[in-house]
């Protein structure tokens, strides 16, 4: 089994990124063969896939298969910076370029010089920055904020998105010329539900990883647990699978994972058919889910939706109350009270030490 993993990092505990990728399913094997052909080139690559499908893992694998493997690989989330700071982060700034710029600083392009720069969620870049990024890609040089001097760079750019950039172009949110500059090679990552052959190999990898961290012995999967894992739709993809396995190991008994140990989300979001032209934004998907709910059920919908949202957020946050509260914009006390009410949390239930320590660390970080 060919396995690709992210370098260990404390930040991954609350990240939505996939931390492992396998290539066992026929679709994954075809993807691997394709990326092995394009990796040695200098071509820009656009990686398309849902959140949690392993876009950064694929980018790292391309870098490791290229002639730049011994040079820097830097990953940047384009949606993580405010519009006022993203230019300085990408291209650097001189001392005094803006309030708080006490010293000159190289940007991500300069830091990645000679290597590979992975721009995740490229569709989140403001239009003004898209213009400057296009110029950097064309001229192969950057100009720091507050400077007129150009700095030559040698960087291979890999970009990723979880939205259809063609629709963003039609809506006037993304530049067509930048799209074609980035989309020299296109790699589309199938969601986990469309590559079922990867589910059990990934499951076994996560069982092994978390068993070692928890100091457990060998853990086995029962046949009914395997069937349940293969039959689930995995809307959160690989990262959701990792979270499920981590939680399952905390509650399973006698070194065996049974079907009833697997706590899978009951949240279902209807997805548009491929090529249907249906709006697949998060808001549109949510509206369609509500419409179906209105048609199929009557009465007490507000409470049902509120409970389902809380439960899904709690599962997504790896059963961490502080992270759940932050995600929903609630206080921890309110979150805890509601979790007890819907049966997700026992009043005096003692949690594993690892969970308590992780929650304390998260409280300190926020």
- DSSP assignment of 122-144: GGGS-HHHHHHHHHHHHHTEEE-
Q: Where are the alpha helices (DSSP H) in the chain?
A: 26-38, 55-64, 83-91, 108-111, 127-139, 165-170, 176-182, 199-214, 223-231, 237-251, 282-296, 301-316, 321-328, 332-341, 353-365
Q: Which residues contact 5 (CB under 8 A, 6 or more apart)?
A: 19, 20, 21, 57
Residue boundaries of the structural domains of the chain: 39-190, 299-366
Q: Which residues contact 32 (CB under 8 A, 6 or more apart)?
A: 2, 23
Q: How far apart are CA 303 and CA 237, in angstroms?
A: 27
Q: How far apart are CA 101 and CA 264, in angstroms?
A: 47
> Do 264 and 244 touch, CB atoms closer than 8 A?
yes
Whole-number pLDDT of residue 273: 42
pTM of the model as a whole: 0.69
Helices 127-139 and 83-91, axial angle in degrees (round to 10)? 10
> Do 176 and 131 touch, CB atoms closer than 8 A?
no
- Looking at 3.40.50, 1.10.10, 1.10.260, 3.40.190, the CATH number of the domain 299-366 comes to 1.10.10
Burial class (CB in 10 A: 0-12, 13-18, 19+), 104: middle
Fold of 39-190: Rossmann fold (3.40.50)
Whole-number pLDDT of residue 266: 62
Q: How far apart are CA 145 and CA 39, in angstroms?
A: 32
Q: Torsion-angle region of residue 278: left (phi > 0), alpha (psi -120 to 50) or beta?
A: beta
Whole-number pLDDT of residue 164: 82
Rg, the chain, Cα only: 22
Nearest to 32 by CA among 57, 8, 69: 57
Q: How far apart are CA 135 and CA 328, in angstroms?
A: 39
Q: Which portions of the chain are predicted below pLDDT 50?
A: 13-14, 269-278, 349-366
Whole-number pLDDT of residue 153: 95
What size, in residues, is the chain?
Answer: 366
Q: Torsion-angle region of residue 215: left (phi > 0), alpha (psi -120 to 50) or beta?
A: left
pLDDT more than 70, % of the chain = 84
């Amino acid at each position: 089994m060919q396995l690709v993993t992210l370098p260990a990092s404390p930040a991954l505990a609350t990240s939505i990124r996939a931390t492992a990728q396998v290539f066992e399913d026929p679709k994954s094997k075809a993807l691997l063969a394709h990326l092995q052909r394009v990796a040695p080139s200098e071509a820009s690559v656009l990686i398309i896939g849902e959140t949690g499908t392993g876009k950064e893992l694929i980018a790292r694998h391309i870098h490791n298969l290229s002639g730049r493997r011994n040079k820097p690989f830097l990953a940047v989330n384009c949606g993580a910076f405010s519009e006022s700071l993203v230019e300085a982060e990408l291209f650097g700034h001189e001392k005094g370029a803006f309030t708080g710029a006490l010293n000159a600083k190289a940007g991500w392009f300069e830091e990645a010089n000679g290597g590979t720069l992975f721009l995740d969620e490229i569709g989140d870049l403001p239009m003004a920055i898209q213009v400057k990024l296009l110029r950097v890609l064309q001229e192969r040089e950057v100009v720091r904020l507050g400077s007129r001097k150009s700095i030559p760079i040698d960087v291979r750019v890999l970009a990723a998105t979880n939205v259809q950039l063609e629709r963003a172009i039609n809506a006037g949110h993304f530049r067509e010329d930048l799209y074609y500059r980035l989309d020299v090679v296109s790699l589309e990552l199938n969601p986990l539900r469309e590559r079922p052959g990867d589910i059990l190999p990934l499951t076994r990898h996560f069982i092994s990883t978390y068993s070692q961290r928890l100091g457990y012995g060998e853990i086995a999967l029962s046949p009914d647990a395997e069937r349940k894992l293969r039959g689930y739709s995995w809307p959160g993809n690989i990262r959701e699978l990792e979270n499920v396995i981590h939680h399952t190991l905390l509650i399973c008994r006698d070194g065996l994972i049974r079907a009833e140990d697997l706590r899978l989300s009951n949240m279902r979001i209807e997805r548009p058919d491929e090529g249907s032209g249906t709006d697949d934004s998060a808001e549109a998907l949510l509206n369609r889910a509500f419409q179906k709910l209105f048609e199929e059920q009557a009465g007490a919908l507000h409470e049902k939706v509120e409970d389902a949202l809380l439960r899904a957020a709690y599962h997504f946050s790896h059963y961490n109350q502080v992270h759940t509260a932050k995600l929903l914009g609630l206080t921890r006390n309110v979150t805890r009270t509601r979790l007890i009410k819907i049966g997700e949390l026992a009043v005096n239930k003692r949690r594993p030490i690892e969970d308590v320590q992780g929650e304390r660390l998260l409280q300190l970080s926020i």
